[in-house]
């Protein structure tokens, strides 16, 4: 799509002799990058949500591992005094 219509006139990017004005270049760059901030913020929000879910899962896994390690490290203790009772 070599033609871009602006407020004032069409810009023919396929024409090698065309020299855009500063205003036209500013308008082109604004249109070209108009969604960048919103897309960046949306991507960051998605990434933060994925990290939050992963963090919860990791903390659950660590808690389960810690509980399993403690129960394996401490076999059922039998007191030496149980025989006396």
The 10s digit of each residue's pLDDT in 6-25 is 545 678 888 999 888 999 99
Lowest mean pLDDT among 12-26, 28-42, 44-58: 12-26
Q: Is the pTM of this model over 0.75?
A: no
| 37 touches 26 (CB < 8 A) | no
Mean pLDDT over residues 47-54, rounded?
A: 98
Cα separation, 58 vs 28, in Å, equals: 46
pLDDT at 27: 92
Mean pLDDT of the chain: 83
More confident of the two residues 47 and 71 = 47
Tell me the CA distances in angstroms from 76 to 11, 14, 71, one per residue in order. 82, 82, 9
């Amino acid at each position: 799509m070599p033609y871009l219509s602006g407020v004032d006139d069409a810009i023919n990017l396929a024409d090698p002799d065309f020299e855009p004005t500063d205003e036209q270049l500013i308008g082109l760059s604004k249109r070209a990058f108009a969604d960048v901030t919103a897309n960046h913020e949306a991507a960051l929000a998605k990434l933060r949500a994925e990290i939050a879910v992963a963090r919860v899962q990791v903390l659950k896994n660590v808690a389960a591992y810690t509980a399993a390690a403690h129960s394996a490290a401490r076999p059922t203790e039998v007191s030496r005094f149980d025989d006396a009772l």
